[in-house]
Amino acid sequence: MRTLSEVVGSHGGAIEYTDSKGKKVFVSPMNLKVMSKYEKWLESRAIQNCMELKSLDAKLFREAFSAVNHDIMKGAYAFGGEVAQDSLQTPAGIGKLVSFMTGLSDEQALELITTEGESFRAVLDLAVRQSLPQKEEDDKGNQVAQTA
Domain boundaries, the chain: 4-133
Of 108, 120, 110, 114, the C-alpha closest to 16 is 120
In this predicted structure, what is the pLDDT of residue 53?
Answer: 86
Judged against a pLDDT cut of 60, whether residue 96 lies above it is answered with yes
pTM of this prediction?
A: 0.77
Query: Above pLDDT 70, what percent of the chain?
Result: 80
Judged against a pLDDT cut of 60, whether residue 35 lies above it is answered with yes
d(CA 74, CA 68): 10
3-state secondary structure of 123: helix
Distances (CA, A) of 57 to 2, 29, 34, 53, 54: 58, 43, 35, 6, 6
pLDDT tens sequence across 64-84: 999 999 999 999 999 989 999
